[in-house]
């Protein structure tokens, strides 16, 4: 009798899974626009985790990277202008405002900066769908401070969004191990090694540090900097695997995609493949498991000092996960967490979702790490102060920063933190638009509905950080 019920339950689960997969595929076919060449190019040239052993060098990696870009240029860029809509900015059309070639430097690729003399080294890892461009401002600051910097392009990024259809987080983790080895070899044994990770890159940095705690062959980090680290994501990301099951079937090829959007950004994909969501779900669960194990066996006590920056409102990664799943697990060790509050002068509190604002600096008791909240000095002023509670204390100190909230901002966003006000693509004070490029940070989309050819919420999302000078100064002091 029991086995009959088990068979029935299993059969019902199979039917439910099939229904969900078919329903998701049909929905994608009806909901999403047509795929383009940059969606269909799924490269086999990227180095995989199985390729990147201890003998695989940065030179080997860059050689494979060059081949991937050459393939993209031959199969996508060379033909994109023929079928592309000339009225829509397109990064794959050379004459478009969104063409990466218009930027003063190509930061879709891996970037090295070598100072003289070398005081230390920093490996910088960008986020999902991003490129080394997102590490540009931080890397420049560290280079100016005497650090050799390696802003490493993760596999599948910087070329075409189709590059993310078949990549895995294990591939990225292997690349980070290679990058850390190269950075250590470049700077020598005695210099400090700093790891900097943004979003998914933050998760990769955390994963690497956890690996070093159990493997002495890996170069250990001296200090860690995290920007909007991907410690936790929405459970909905797990559903992408089922929705994309029929993606390999040509008729249902759109099922491989969550979003298909014009590629108007020269340094970041706008379209989003289902596999990217699958990998974030797999990766965050793996990190949670590794953190739990390292906590249980005491290895977490050797986690290097970590400084993280996180907006209290973030729809991409979970702010509570950063606080409770990462920082609250760390033993004492000089760790610091900086949170950017919402703009208390903006008047949006009445329209804010319950639970969207996190900062409880003292009500939950003393913590083993220092917490700083960048918030309005007073509710009636746009000026901000850094409100800090030191590790082991509940006493609050305040430091005016001499910075203000811009009038039009009510909060930061996940994508804003690593970009200064004058960033060419994302900055609110960019002059890149006058130079013939696309300055996304200066777009203020207020007008009639159903006019724009790109998602309105994407253009409304703030893309630069008015408090970047404070963040950069904190990082420079942290690594000094």
Instruction: Tell whether the model's pLDDT for residue 9 goes beyond 60.
Output: no
The partner residues of 273 in beta bridges, in order of sequence, read 257
Report which of residues 55 and 449 the model is more confident about: 55
Report which of residues 213 and 456 the model is more confident about: 213
The partner residues of 310 in beta bridges, in order of sequence, read 339
Determine the pLDDT at residue 356. Answer: 54
Determine the pLDDT at residue 10. Answer: 61
3-state class (DSSP) for residue 129: coil
Q: What is the 3-state secondary structure (H, E, C) of 384-434?
A: EEEEEECCCCCCEEEEEEEEECCCCCCCCCCCCCCCCCCCCCCCCCCCCCC
Mean pLDDT of 198-216: 96
Does residue 376 contact residue 383 with C-beta atoms inside 8 Å? yes
* Structural domains of the chain sorted by starting position, each given as residue range(s) with its CATH number in brackets: 18-304 (3.40.50.1820), 421-464 (no CATH)
Report which of residues 31 and 78 the model is more confident about: 78
pLDDT tens profile 355-411: 555 556 656 778 899 999 999 998 888 999 999 999 999 898 999 999 999 988 889
Report which of residues 173 and 242 the model is more confident about: 173
Instruction: Tell whether the model's pLDDT for residue 28 goes beyond 80.
Output: no
Predicted TM-score (pTM) of the model is: 0.90
| pLDDT range class, residue 440, cuts 50, 70, 90 | confident
pLDDT tens profile 217-272: 999 999 999 999 999 876 655 555 555 454 455 545 788 899 999 899 999 999 99
Task: Express as a percent the part of the chain with pLDDT over 70.
Answer: 82
Q: What are the φ/ψ torsions at residue 59 (nearest 5 degrees)?
A: -60, -40
Report which of residues 265 and 4 the model is more confident about: 265
Determine the pLDDT at residue 251. Answer: 44
* Segment among 186-190, 339-343, 433-437 with least mean pLDDT: 433-437
Does residue 388 contact residue 370 with C-beta atoms inside 8 Å? yes
* CA–CA gap between residue 337 and residue 319 (Å, rounded): 11
Instruction: Tell whether the model's pLDDT for residue 151 goes beyond 70.
Output: yes
Determine the pLDDT at residue 232. Answer: 83
CB burial of 289-324 (b: ≥16 within 10 Å; e: otherwise) equals: ebbeebeeeeebeebbbbbbbbbbbbebbbbebbbe
Q: What is the DSSP letter of 35?
A: -
| pLDDT range class, residue 434, cuts 50, 70, 90 | low
Average pLDDT, the chain: 86
The partner residues of 224 in beta bridges, in order of sequence, read 195, 306
């Amino acid at each position: 009798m029991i086995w009959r019920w088990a068979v029935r339950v299993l059969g019902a689960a199979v039917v439910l899974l099939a229904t969900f997969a078919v329903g998701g595929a049909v929905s994608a076919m009806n909901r999403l626009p047509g795929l383009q060449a940059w969606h269909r190019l799924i490269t086999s040239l990227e180095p995989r985790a199985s390729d990147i052993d201890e003998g695989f060098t940065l030179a080997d990696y860059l050689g494979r990277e060059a081949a991937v870009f050459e393939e993209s240029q031959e199969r996508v860029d060379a033909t994109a202008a023929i079928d592309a809509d000339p009225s829509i900015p397109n990064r794959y059309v050379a004459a478009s405002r969104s063409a990466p070639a218009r930027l003063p430097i190509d930061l879709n690729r891996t970037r090295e900066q070598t100072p003289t003399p070398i005081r230390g080294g920093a490996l910088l890892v960008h986020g999902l769908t991003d490129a080394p461009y997102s590490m540009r401002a931080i890397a420049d600051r560290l280079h100016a401070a005497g650090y050799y910097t390696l802003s490493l392009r993760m596999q599948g990024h910087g070329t075409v969004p189709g590059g993310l259809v078949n990549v895995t987080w294990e591939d990225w983790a292997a690349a980070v191990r290679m990058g850390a080895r190269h950075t250590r070899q470049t700077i020598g044994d005695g210099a400090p090694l700093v790891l900097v990770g943004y979003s998914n890159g933050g998760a990769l940095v955390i994963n690497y540090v956890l690996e070093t705690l159990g493997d002495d062959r890996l170069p250990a980090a001296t200090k860690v900097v995290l920007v909007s680290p991907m410690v936790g994501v929405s459970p909905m990301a797990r559903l992408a695997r089922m929705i994309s099951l029929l993606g390999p079937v040509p008729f249902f090829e759109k099922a491989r995609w969550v979003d298909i959007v014009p590629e108007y950004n020269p340094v970041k994909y706008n379209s989003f493949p289902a596999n990217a969501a699958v990998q974030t779900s797999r990766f965050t669960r793996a990190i949670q498991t590794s953190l739990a194990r390292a906590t249980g066996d005491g290895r977490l006590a050797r986690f290097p000092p970590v400084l993280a920056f996180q907006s209290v409102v973030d729809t991409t990664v979970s702010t509570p996960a950063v606080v409770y799943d990462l920082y609250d697990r760390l033993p004492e060790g000089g760790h610091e967490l900086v949170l950017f509050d919402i703009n208390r002068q903006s008047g949006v509190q009445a329209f804010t979702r319950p639970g969207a604002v996190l900062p409880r600096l003292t009500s939950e008791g003393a913590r083993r790490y220092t917490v700083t909240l960048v918030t309005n000095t007073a509710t009636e002023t746009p000026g901000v102060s850094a409100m800090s509670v030191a590790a082991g204390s509940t006493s609050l100190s305040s430091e005016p920063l001499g910075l203000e909230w811009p009038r039009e901002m009510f909060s930061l966003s996940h994508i804003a933190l690593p970009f200064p006000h004058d960033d060419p693509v994302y900055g609110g004070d960019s002059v890149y638009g006058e130079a013939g490029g696309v300055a996304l940070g200066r777009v203020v989309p207020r007008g009639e509905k159903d006019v724009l050819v790109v998602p309105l919420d994407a253009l409304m999302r703030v893309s630069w950080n008015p408090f970047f000078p404070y963040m950069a100064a904190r990082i420079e002091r942290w690594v000094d």
